[in-house]
Amino acid sequence: MKKLWNNKNNKEIFDFCEDYKDFISQNKTERECVISIREMAKKEGYKDLKDLITSSTPLKAGDKVYATNLDKCIFLFKIGSRPLSDGMRILGAHIDSPRLDLKPNPLYEDEASNIVLFDTHYYGGIKHYQWTALPLAIHGIVCKKDGSTVNISIGEKDQDPVFCITDLLPHLDRSPVKTAENKIVGENLNVIIGGIPLNGIESHPNPEIDKVLKDYSIEKKELVKSNILNILKSYNIDTEDFISAEIEVVPAGKARDMGLDRCFVLGYGQDDRICAYTSLKALFDSDSTDFTLAGMFVDKEEVGSQGASGMQSLFFEDMVAEISALLGETSPLAVRRALRNSYMLSSDVTAGFDPNYADAFDLNNDAFLGKGISFNKYTGSRGKSGANDASPEFIAKIRELLDKNDINYQLTEMGKIDQGGGGTIAYITANYGMNVIDCGCPLLNMHAPWEISSKADIFEAYKCYKAFLNLKN
């Protein structure tokens, strides 16, 4: 294998990662990812599958279509010359990331301090203490009863305020509890959002304080809360609108180069938008015209892939059935054969070896940053529970492909047995009988607010995914 870092490759790697950093900086929620991917796909000539279904427009080789589900997942298809029932070449990544969600009734004023906070419920596997004492942003959507929506993004621009969850100062932190994780419980991940009382603002547009309080059904002791509600009203948000809102608290700020040599990326949500972006670019740049190509960008992986926008829903299968019908493959078995005969890379990250915590890793079987894309024959935990275990025949095909294309790769696990483990969407699509294996970039700080990746691995993942789309029988 070639060296990943050399004078010939470095500029290409760095240039590719500039666009990647922009992507993860601008798309911090699954909805933002779907909007961005859809716009990028349209520029590449992809059409809305829903429109073709409505007009009964037949599909043919070379056509490119997309299908969105609840604006939280999106599937892209590039139709090949071979029958769909011969199978597809699929890249599957998830676009949700660990975060904090606002509760349905999130806003409250602490009586003792008169500080106003948002009450949150964490999403995905996080270490609670990692989300304290750092700048946070609020992203999301508010759906109003009249059918209108309000999009929110506060904390990303230089002129925006940011938000924060507090941590106890070391002078007072004498708790006998040994671990930092147990000191900060999920119920206490409350975000500070304000502290000025309504009558503390001389230029307030409504000087009739009592009337404002009555309109919001707020006691006079909650003057700070009433001021915050008035500020929210400037965003066209009323207190009851939180019931039908989806608002996420995420780290504020852009992805950055890390290291004096700038070889790493430090950014939020790289699990798994690092694989989503590289898969998307590989799909756009592929010139394969043989098998139909598909890109999955799905929600809810971090919480088990359940729900209408998760991989366990039937939406992907339904869209394959719709495509099959528009291609004229009307046999009841056509969809089943298309899924069973497909090859798939479940594009998801894995744990990278961390020299600060070497005892958690098996040096002979774990991934290293800067050594290329990582393949996991199986994930799961303990005795491979919840794993897809890829067949050796399929792995042999992948090995041949990677070696032929001079792509650096690693065969890895995720930490020591009984200590490590994790899951992806691979086991779900494997239920169709298709060949699927997990592969993606190794990360440090996985599931933390700021994760670390290697630029060399990002570019190698892109090359791997692009080569895979050309995989023959």
Query: What's the topology of domain 99-251?
Result: Aminopeptidase i, Domain 2 (2.30.250)
Of 78, 74, 112, residue with least CA distance to 94: 74
According to DSSP H, which parts of 297-434 are helical? 315-326, 334-340, 392-404, 426-429
CA gap 458, 265 in Å, rounded: 10
Each domain of the chain, given as residue ranges in start order, spans: 10-97+268-468, 99-251
**CB neighbourhood size of 3 (10 A):** 9
Architecture of domain 10-97+268-468: 3-Layer(aba) Sandwich (3.40)
Arithmetic mean of pLDDT over the chain:
91
Helix (H, G, I), strand (E, B) or coil at 225: helix
Question: What is the gyration radius of the CA atoms in the chain, in angstroms?
Answer: 24
pLDDT score of 221 more than 90: no
144-173 pLDDT, tens digit per residue, is: 999 999 999 999 999 999 999 999 888 888
pLDDT score of 217 more than 90: no
391-432 pLDDT, tens digit per residue, is: 999 999 999 999 999 999 999 888 888 776 777 889 999 999
The angle that helices 455-468 and 270-285 make with each other, rounded to 10 degrees, is 50
What average pLDDT does range 223-251 have in this prediction?
93
**Tokens of residue 433, six digits:** 């009988």
Question: Got the DSSP string for 88-148?
Answer: EEEEEEE----EEEEEEEEEEE-TTT--EEEEEEEESS--GGGGSSS-EEEEEEEE-TTS-
204 pLDDT tier (thresholds 50, 70, 90): very low
Long-range contacts of 300-306 (CB under 8 A, 24+ apart): 300/94, 300/96, 301/94, 301/96, 301/272, 301/348, 301/424, 301/425, 302/94, 302/96, 302/97, 302/98, 302/123, 302/124, 302/125, 303/96, 303/123, 303/124, 304/423, 305/94, 305/425, 305/428
300-312 pLDDT, tens digit per residue, is: 999 999 999 999 9
Of 422, 362, 351, 356, residue with least CA distance to 386: 422
Class of residue 60 by CB neighbours under 10 A (exposed 0-12, middle 13-18, buried 19+): exposed
312-321 pLDDT, tens digit per residue, is: 999 999 999 9
pLDDT score of 203 more than 50: no
